[in-house]
Amino acid sequence: MSRIVPTSVPGHPDPAPRTIYRSSSGEQVLDCHPRDVPQLLAQGGLIWVDIDSTVRSQHALLEKVFGFHPLAVEDTLNPASRVKLEEYPGFMYIVTRAVTFASGTDDPYDLETKDLHCFLGPRYLVTVHAGPLPVLDTVFDNVHRSPELLSRGVERVLHSVLDSSVDAYFPILDQVDEFIDGLEERVFVDFDQDALRDVFKVKRLVLSLRRYLQPSREVLNVLTNRPTVLISPEAQIYFRDIYDHVLRINDALDTYRDLLSSTMESYLSQVSNRLGATTKGLSVVATMSLPFVVVSGMWGMNFTNIPLSQWRYGFLALLLAQLGLGGLLLLLLRRQRLL
């Protein structure tokens, strides 16, 4: 049996937190009034409460209804909390970071991150975040459509939440992989000068993803291997799957970082080679022009008696001499392997 309550509290402008409750008899309550949460907790069923920390009336439930530790409640208001796992008497507090591409920006590689706070108790799961969180919306819809997921235990819902936040990295990796596939043609075929700027942007993106993901390894390692009364050994197996995903994503990020570094070095080497070719061409021109400068300078001096100045074929002789000297210089430089 299901009972659905409107998501807004009558007479109050603030929306109510999203709630899914399932009793041992199979009764399901969706989006209940905040004052009903203590009653549902007392009934002994399983409940998931999703709280928007930007709404004060929702955030007050953390301390007034659930009685979480003030330090943990304070961390939920910090927009830059570090990824961590802490155990308090009666509940476990987990902070993870959800990553998506930023909307409304001209930079296609700009990331938007939000902290996701999870409180896991014996029969409840409380998630806290600031504003909308698409990865959590997907999990909430899945639990809404499949109530039996909640009946398996709140730790399984926590698994779905963490799994969704980690899986959000894969679309970003696909875009990075697509960029690297087209990078070879841009660098070695078209020699696109904007490619280096994009390489820097994507490399910064990869390093940011690695920095966000790295602390999650320790958290998931604890969830997978440390015995706790809040997570059964059967449920820990599911967290092991998320841990494998984190390792796979981390390996991919390391590979992308190496590829981007190699591409950057290849681009700079190509720039150096092109500069060398240009310098060689200018050296040829300078070598050919050196005899003209020297001979023309000598025969252009303001003296009365200059050899060949009165000869009929003097100009032609000097021109041929200059060309000959230029060719001789080129031959000597080529034999010395300077050109």
Q: Do 215 and 82 contact (CB within 8 A), yes or no?
A: yes
Q: Do 97 and 83 contact (CB within 8 A), yes or no?
A: yes
Domains of the chain: 1-148 (3.30.460.20), 286-335 (1.20.58)
Q: Do 86 and 117 contact (CB within 8 A), yes or no?
A: no
Model-level pTM?
0.75
Q: pLDDT by residue (tens digit) across 205-229?
A: 888 888 888 888 889 888 888 888 8
Instruction: Please report how the helices 154-167 and 169-184 are oriented relative to each other, as an axis angle in degrees rounded to 10.
Output: 20
Amino acid identity for residue 34 in this structure: P
Phi, psi of 294 (to 5 degrees): -70, -50
Burial class (CB in 10 A: 0-12, 13-18, 19+), 169: buried
Local confidence pLDDT in tens for the 339 residues of the chain? 344 343 444 444 567 888 888 887 777 787 777 788 888 888 888 899 999 988 888 899 998 889 899 999 999 998 878 889 999 999 999 999 888 877 767 777 778 888 999 999 989 999 999 888 888 888 988 888 877 788 888 999 999 999 999 998 998 888 888 888 887 777 777 777 777 788 888 888 888 888 888 888 889 888 888 888 888 888 889 899 999 999 999 999 999 888 888 887 877 787 787 777 777 777 777 777 777 777 777 777 776 677 777 777 777 887 788 788 878 877 887 777 766
Give how far the C-alpha of residue 221 lies from the chain's centroid of Cα atoms, to the nearest Å. 22
Q: pLDDT by residue (tens digit) across 107-143?
A: 777 788 889 999 999 899 999 998 888 888 889 888 8
Spatial separation of the C-alpha atoms in residues 87 and 45, rounded to whole Å: 22
pLDDT at 267 (0 to 100): 78
- In SS3 terms, the chain reads as CEEECCCECCCCCCECCEEEEECCCCCEEECCCHHHHHHHHHHCCEEEEEEECCCHHHHCHHHHCCCCCHHHHHHCCCCCCCCEEEEECCEEEEEEEEEEECCCCCCCCCEEEEEEEEEECCCEEEEEECCCCHHHHHHHHHHHHCCHHHHCCHHHHHHHHHHHHHHCHHHHHHHHHHHHHHHHHHHHHCCCCCHHHHHHHHHHHHHHHHHHHHHHHHHHHHHHHCCECCECHHHHHHHHHHHHHHHHHHHHHHHHHHHHHHHHHHHHHHHHHHHHHHHHHHHHHHHHHHHHHHHHHHHCCCCCCCCCCCCCCHHHHHHHHHHHHHHHHHHHHHHCCCC
pLDDT at 242 (0 to 100): 92
Cα–Cα distances in angstroms (integers) from residue 286 to residues 45, 96, 111, 134, 330, in the given order: 89, 64, 51, 64, 10
The region, left, alpha or beta by phi > 0 then psi within -120 to 50, assigned to residue 121 is beta
